[in-house]
Structure 1
Amino acid sequence: MNQCTVIALLPPPAHVLALTAAPGHHRPEAGHILCELGEHHDGDHATMLWDEGTHPASAVWAHWHTHRARLLPHSWCAALDPRDTDHACGLFAGHPPGHSWDITDPTDEAITHDLARQHPHLSR
Structure 2
Amino acid sequence: MDQCTAFVLLSPPRHLTALLADPEPAYVLCELGEGHAADHGTLLWDLDGESGGVWARWNERRTRLAPFAWCPEVDDEGDACELFAEHSSGHSWDVVDPTRAALWELARRGHPHLFPEGGAPGA
TM-score interval, smaller chain: 0.7 to 0.9
- Gap runs ≥5 in structure 2: 117-123
- For residues 76-99 of structure 1, give each alpha carbon's deviation from its aligned partner in whole angstroms, at most 9, with x where no partner exists: 0101102x1x21111100100301
Give the structure 2 partner of residue 72 of structure 1. Answer: 66
Give the structure 1 partner of residue 57 of structure 2. Answer: 63
Give the structure 2 partner of residue 36 of structure 1. Answer: 31
Distance 2:50 2:103 in 1: 37
Number of aligned residue pairs: give it: 116
Give the structure 2 partner of residue 2 of structure 1. Answer: 2
Q: CA deviation at 1:118?
A: 1.7
Distance 1:88 1:115 in 2: 27
Q: Percent same amino acid at aligned positions?
A: 47
Q: TM-score, normalised by structure 2?
A: 0.84
Give the structure 1 partner of residue 120 of structure 2. Answer: none
Distance 2:8 2:61 in 1: 9
Once superposed, what is the RMSD of the aligned Cα atoms?
Answer: 2.0
- For residues 52-96 of structure 1, give each alpha carbon's deviation from its aligned partner in whole angstroms, at most 9, with x where no partner exists: 21773x4100001125110111110101102x1x21111100100
Distance 1:52 1:118 in 2: 39
Q: 1:71 to 1:26 in 2, by over 3 A?
A: closer
Give the structure 2 partner of residue 117 of structure 1. Answer: 109
Give the structure 2 partner of residue 13 of structure 1. Answer: 13
Instruction: Give SS of 1:93's match.
Output: coil
- For residues 38-60 of structure 1, give each alpha carbon's deviation from its aligned partner in whole angstroms, at most 9, with x where no partner exists: 0011121000111121773x410
Q: TM-score, normalised by structure 1?
A: 0.84
- Gap runs ≥5 in structure 1: none
Give the structure 1 partner of residue 121 of structure 2. Answer: none
Give the structure 2 partner of residue 90 of structure 1. Answer: 82
Distance 2:39 2:9 in 1: 15
Decide which structure has greater strand share: 1
Contact 2:9 2:28 in 1 (8 A): yes
